[in-house]
Amino acid sequence: MTEKIGVVGGGIAGVGAAWALHRAGYEVELFEKGSALGGSAKTFRWTVGDGYADSPVLVVAWPQMYYHNYESLLDELGVGIETLPVSYFVQTPEGHFCQDGQTAVQQRFAPEFRRWKKLIAFVTKVNAFFMPKKTHNSLYHFSYFNPMNVIPIYWLARLFGISRAFWDTIFVPIHCATFITTSMRGVPAVILPLLESVVPLEEPTQMGTWRGAPRQVFDRMSAPFADSVHTDHEITAVRRRKNRFIIEDAKGRTYEVDKVVFACDATAVLNTLESPSWLQRLLLGNSQYVDDVDPAFSRFVVHGDTGIFPEKHRQRILSDFNTYSEIDETGALECTFVISAQNPSTKDAGVPMLVTFNSKKAIDQVQARIDLPHPTHVVSLRNMIIMWMIRFLQGKGGMHYCGTFTTPEGGHDLSFMSGLVAAHSIGAPYPFSQDNVNAVEDFKQMQRLMLTRRDRSI
Ligand SMILES: Cc1cc2nc3c(=O)[nH]c(=O)nc-3n(C[C@H](O)[C@H](O)[C@H](O)COP(=O)(O)OP(=O)(O)OC[C@H]3O[C@@H](n4cnc5c(N)ncnc54)[C@H](O)[C@@H]3O)c2cc1C
């Protein structure tokens, strides 16, 4: 008899797991608390004149050199990819910084930018010594013995003579959009070379994005099992009954399945469990999300108010920059994604499309205010240890785990891969051609990160 798998969480991890399981012949039931699939990869519908335009608002782009499996998925689904230039504008009380080497702020920090380069070269060397032989650009290379796992970037930067002012004025305003927080002092140095290759502090970069909006990815992935997709289903209990599970949602609806894949946040998993083991309590209860330490980025305003930008630079920001960060006199940081400057499907619409986090000013022309509890997990040593130990829970008693708390950093490829690895450990084969050696190698590395030795095969 075909096994039925319940998947809790409809972000890319959960939909990825359900998609792989369904194409392998499993019956799936996919439960999502929100009214649409996508999780953080939300699609927003803007009013434009008498019509509308859809765009991404939070998950907006990705570093193409690293997203081997996610781009294989988009190829397979026939979703177009575009490469866009990505640049940052930072406004401080002393002036602005915009990666062009010209401004007074950049000149003030010129010696520290040189030290920053030395720091990256140093970490790159240490990583190269400890990491397994690197064959391609990968997010998944990892060595347990690398001391850079336990030393935060911040402390190493201070040792290299980089000031707190540089950290607060340059690093945090740019990377708040990477880590979805302003609290980054615990980020381990091991990821610094990766970070710099994705978002170099001193120069603009390029990233991939969907030609349309992320919704089409989720629509196309879930189309073959659309009847088994249950949105507006917040799962509140997962109970073991004989050899099966009863999944119950907040409205008391119940479903019976053989196995469960958890693809929601760790707190939600723990809350659903009837009698969690000590290890489940320890790992799921201690997994830290960005809003546990800094609530700044769990709330955002979708709007069209260009008055939030300084008048002098307004037109330039609207046409040339993807992310605008502003530090006020108190040191508080507001960050805005300029969707209309970057998204291929909306950049010619002629209306400003902005998403502001941690808004400090009054904002007009608000289209939506959205709360995003537990948006992504903290990148820290504590979460790395938890991620590494989740392997001892994987598959136990028919329960599997994927999503951000099972990955070393937050990212669409990482979450998608975690869903594929969970599906594979149930029995779904790796879904893409084995000819793409980089994608296959990433998949194997992700298995190493998520599973114990005896679970791995491809
Ligand atoms: C603001 C922001 C910007 C980002 N930008 C990028 C970017 O540009 N590029 C990139 O690669 N990555 C980005 N990320 C990282 C992003 O987190 C991942 O790319 C990925 O979308 C995470 O997918 P996921 O499926 O693991 O989790 P999520 O997308 O968080 O999905 C989890 C789902 O579980 C659901 N859920 C929770 N509890 C329950 C329950 N009890 N019952 C049912 N459903 C439940 C939630 O509603 C949610 O839909 C960004 C993240 C954030 C927060």
What pLDDT shows up at residue 298? 87
* Burial class of residue 234 in the structure, from the number of CB atoms within 10 Å of its CB (0-12 exposed, 13-18 middle, 19+ buried): middle
Give pLDDT, residue 378.
92
Amino acid at 40: S
Region of poorest pLDDT, from 92-106, 142-156, 214-228, 279-293: 92-106
The answer to whether position 439 is within a domain reads: yes
State the pLDDT confidence band at 4, using cuts at 50, 70 and 90. very high
Q: How far apart are CA 124 and CA 109, in angstroms?
A: 22
Give the helix ranges, DSSP H, for 184-231.
Answer: 192-198, 215-222
pLDDT exceeds 90 at position 135? no
* Residue 270 is assigned to a structural domain of this protein: yes
| CA of residue 264 to ligand 1 center, whole Å | 8
Using DSSP, state whether 46 is helix, strand or coil.
strand
CA–centroid distance, residue 415 to ligand 1 (Å): 8
- C-alpha closest to that of 21 among 450, 458, 426: 426
379 CA distance to ligand 1 centroid (A)?
Answer: 15
Does residue 267 fall inside a structural domain? Answer: yes
Separation between Cα atoms, residue 369 and residue 350, nearest integer Å: 22
Q: Ligand 1 centroid to 41 CA: how many Å?
A: 6
- Does residue 126 contact residue 146 with C-beta atoms inside 8 Å? yes
Looking at the CA of residue 402, tell me the nearest atom of ligand 1: 26
CA 158 / ligand 1 centre spacing (Å): 33
Give nearest CA residue, ligand 1 atom 16.
Answer: 411
The 3-state DSSP composition of the chain as helix, strand, coil percent (nearest 5) reads 40, 20, 35
**Would you say residue 133 has pLDDT above 90?**
no
pLDDT of residue 346: 79
Asked whether the predicted pLDDT for residue 455 surpasses 80, the reply is no
What is the pLDDT confidence band of residue 250, given thresholds at 50, 70 and 90?
Answer: very high
Tell how many helices (H) and how many strands (E) occur in the chain: 17, 19
pLDDT of residue 189: 97
Distance from the alpha carbon of residue 262 to the mean position of ligand 1, in angstroms: 13
What average pLDDT score do residues 442-451 get? 95
Q: 235 in the Ramachandran plot: left (φ > 0), alpha (ψ -120 to 50) or beta? A: beta
Which residue has the least CA distance to atom 27 on ligand 1?
11
| Cβ-contact 201, 170 below 8 angstroms | yes
Ligand 1 — pocket residues by CB below 6 A?
A: 8-14, 31-34, 39-41, 58-62, 180, 234-235, 263-265, 268, 375-376, 403-404, 410-412, 415
Stretch among 33-37, 95-99, 205-209 having the lowest mean pLDDT:
95-99
SS3 110: helix
Q: Name the residue with the closest Cα to ligand 1, atom 50.
A: 59
Report the CATH number that the domain containing residue 25 is assigned in CATH. 3.50.50.60
What pLDDT, on a 0 to 100 scale, did the predictor assign at position 80?
95
- For 273, the domain range is 4-41+213-289+376-455
Domain count within the chain: 1
Q: Which residues, 6 or more positions from 454, have their beta carbon under 8 angstroms from its beta carbon?
A: none
Q: What is the pLDDT of residue 297?
A: 83
- pLDDT in the model for residue 458: 72
Contact 134, 128 (CB under 8 A): yes
Residue 70 CA, closest ligand 1 atom number: 11
In a domain, 220, yes or no: yes
DSSP annotation string for 389-425: HGGGTTTGGGEEE-SGGGSSS--HHHHHHHHHHHHHH
Strands across the sheet with 235-241, in order? 235-241, 244-249, 254-257
- 8-state DSSP, 167: I
Residue 304, pLDDT > 90, answer yes
pLDDT, residue 457, reads 74
Mean pLDDT estimate for the chain: 94
Residue 158: helix, strand or coil by DSSP? helix
39 CA → ligand 1 middle, Å: 4
The band of 354, judged by pLDDT with boundaries at 50, 70 and 90, is very high
**Average pLDDT of 248-275?**
97
pLDDT tens, residue by residue, 206-222: 999 999 899 999 999 99
Identify whether 102 is part of a domain: no
Mean pLDDT of 381-407: 95
Asked if residue 334 lies in contact with residue 358, where contact means CB atoms within 8 angstroms, the answer is: yes
Q: Examine residue 28 and state whether it is found in any structural domain, yes or no.
A: yes
Residue from 174, 180, 412, 416 to probe ligand 1 pocket by mutation (most atoms less than 8 Å from CB)? 412
pLDDT for 255 equals: 98
Which atom of ligand 1 is closest in space to residue 404's alpha carbon?
26
Is the pLDDT confidence value at 300 over 80?
yes
Q: How many CA atoms lie within 13 A of 265 on its CB side?
A: 23
- pLDDT for residue 338: 95
Mean pLDDT of 33-37: 97
- What mean pLDDT is predicted for residues 277-290? 96
CA-nearest of 297, 59, 309, 83 to 172 is 297
Which residue has a Cα nearest atom 26 of ligand 1?
403
The residue whose two tokens read 């920001």 is: 317
Q: How confident is the model at residue 456 (pLDDT cuts 50, 70, 90)?
A: confident
Specify the DSSP class assigned to residue 233.
Answer: -
Distance of alpha carbon 244 from alpha carbon 82, whole angstroms: 44
pLDDT (average), residues 55-66 = 95
pLDDT of 49 strictly over 90: no
Query: Is the CB of residue 450 less than 8 Å from the CB of residue 421?
Result: yes
pLDDT of residue 78: 97
Rg of the Cα trace of the chain?
Answer: 22
Note whether residue 158 is domain-resident.
no
- pLDDT at residue 425, as a whole number: 96
Q: Is residue 131 part of a domain?
A: no
Question: In this predicted structure, which of 49-53, 94-98, 130-134, 184-188 has the lowest mean pLDDT?
Answer: 130-134
